[in-house]
Amino acid sequence: MDLNAAEQKRIEAEWSAASLATLIDDILEEHHEPTKKKLAELKNFVGEAVKESTSTCDSLTSLDSAIRGLMMTIKMHAEKEENVLFPMIKRLEAGDSRADEFCGGIENPLRVMEKDHREIDLHFERLHRWAEQHRSDRTVEKVRVIFLKLLHQLEADLKIHMYKEDAILFPRVKALG
């Protein structure tokens, strides 16, 4: 999931010198909360389409399960950041030297988060593959168009979100040690 160069520059200029606590609060407000809403909207939309489909539609059922997989991965990932990593970073930045003793050092949770991000990318690839495979399937065309619109909105925001973490927050945390 790559962000275009102009956006990367804009984010770097905005966040490279801010405090980590301020950046974390921005990520939580501007990305974590909106992502939960966007995901719920996507899940509800496809869930309704599955219910409304007259026949047992394997195509929609497979889309529904792919979305549930994405939701679960993002939910667990966000909980780890919100409950473990972000509070730990705030304590480190505030000078609490014991903060990184937990979890065997800050490197470990950072590595897990980076791995989660790659897993989230794989979920998106799976969802795009579904859309590609059903490009000429007229039985799901209406659902496919709206699904893709919602997916693109979610993805556009996640690109910014993950760039703030992967390219700004996590490297700056590593540099603290």
Contacts to Fe ion by CB under 5 A: 81, 165
Mention every residue, 6+ apart, whose C-beta is less than 8 A from residue 25.
none
Provide the sign of the torsion angle of the four alpha carbons 73, 74, 75, 80, taken in this order.
Answer: positive
Please say which residue, 57 or 89, places its beta carbon nearer to Fe ion: 89
Nearest to 40 by CA among 61, 67, 58, 65: 67
**Smallest gap, in angstroms, from Cβ of residue 27 to Fe ion?**
5
**Smallest gap, in angstroms, from Cβ of residue 136 to Fe ion?**
36
Q: What single letter denotes the amino acid at residue 53?
A: S
Cα–Cα distance, 131 to 63 (Å, whole number): 9
**Smallest gap, in angstroms, from Cβ of residue 96 to Fe ion?**
22
Please say which residue, 20 or 60, places its beta carbon nearer to Fe ion: 20
Please say which residue, 43 or 80, places its beta carbon nearer to Fe ion: 80
Cα–Cα distance, 60 to 51 (Å, whole number): 10
Cα–Cα distance, 46 to 49 (Å, whole number): 5
**Smallest gap, in angstroms, from Cβ of residue 36 to Fe ion?**
11
Please say which residue, 100 or 165, places its beta carbon nearer to Fe ion: 165
